[in-house]
Homo-oligomer: A and B are copies of this chain.
Amino acid sequence: MDGERLSTTAITTAKEVFDLLRDELAAMEREFERLSASEVDSITEIAGYLREGGGKRIRPALLLLAAKSLGHHGASSIRLGAVIEMVHTATLVHDDIIDVADIRRGRPSANTQWGNSKCVLAGDWLYMQAFRVALEERNFRILDLLIGLTQQMVEGELLQMESLGSSLTEHDYYELIYRKTACLFRVSMQLGCVLAGASPAMEKALGDYGRNVGLAFQIVDDVLDLTASEAVLGKPTASDLREGKATLAVVHALEHGTAEERADILAVIDDQGFERVRHERILAILHRNGSIDHAIQVADAHAEAARENLAMLPDSEFKRALLWVPDFVVSRDK
């Protein structure tokens, strides 16, 4: 463990990680652009709009780091990075239709620009294109991972819809965010392992790392949705509560608060808005019950578990970057 702790100090900024992957991420971006062009204009337009909306590209970065930490440096990891980003983009465009979202990443969502119908089809097309490109690798394991993943994600979104407006157990919450978010992080790491020909034990360990980073990522995302300002988020605050979604801090307060506090939270979830109970009241309830702290502690524990999942990985600058990622994920403020 000392060796690991030492190596975590070696990389301390996002810029260092970005420098390490600069060429590959730039190549991934070009692949993503090239692959999301269709002879049907509206697909190219919608895909271009979504691609230019940015995002942290954390998933392809994880795939690249997994592959490189295991000695694979080929072009397949760049193509599969673009595939992962296409799958991620496809889920976002369909989710925005479902959430009737107006805003994504500080800009109007694609559905407000092109309408739901074209966005349903653009999402479908991005899924198919991702599979088509993955299929070119001629590796059944890659396809098993990708198709299993997308099915889990779609099921997660449906489970979330079914739970809207009602309270959840912590267990249900973890199940939901595993499917919605952590599964994609897990598969990104596993794809890097498959490309590098890693052992099943290594694939399991790095897959668990991805799962833990993904869970930490989503828990922090959900806390930020409750506590950060609209200017920082690039979308309205407390949008989860406004949609009737109970997230970890809220689930904690429901389990630990007074009957009155519980009733106030349930009123907001049930109303899908702050008509009867104000946002400030909810934040006060969460703070009084230590619910925000609880959520952050759970995220920290997953970040720590993720670092421990790297124990069997040989030391390298790529491993040091992977050791840094969980810290980045839990300490980000947007």
Contact = CB atoms under 8 A, between A and B. Distances in A.
B147 A120 contact: no
Contact of A124 (B41, B131, B143, B154): B154
A98 interface: yes
A148 B135 CA distance: 11
Contact of A120 (B39, B41, B94, B125): B94
Contact of A40 (B131, B132, B135, B159): B159
Interface residues of A, number: 39
A161 interface: yes
A147 B121 contact: no
A120 B39 CA distance: 24
Contacts of A129: 151
A150 B124 CA distance: 9
Given A117-B97, A118-B161, A40 B147 contact: no
Contacts of A39: 155
B121 A94 contact: yes
A158 B309 CA distance: 45
A42 interface: yes
Interchain residue pairs A-B with the least CB separation, the first 5: A98-B117, A128-B151, A124-B154, A125-B154, A40-B155
Given A97-B117, A135-B143, 11 more contacts: A40-B155, A43-B158, A97-B116, A97-B120, A98-B120, A116-B116, A120-B123, A121-B161, A125-B154, A128-B147, A132-B147
30 contacts: A40-B158, A42-B158, A42-B161, A42-B162, A43-B155, A43-B158, A94-B120, A94-B124, A97-B117, A98-B120, A98-B121, A118-B161, A120-B120, A121-B158, A121-B161, A122-B158, A124-B127, A124-B154, A125-B151, A125-B154, A125-B158, A128-B147, A128-B150, A128-B154, A129-B151, A131-B131, A132-B147, A135-B143, A135-B144, A138-B140
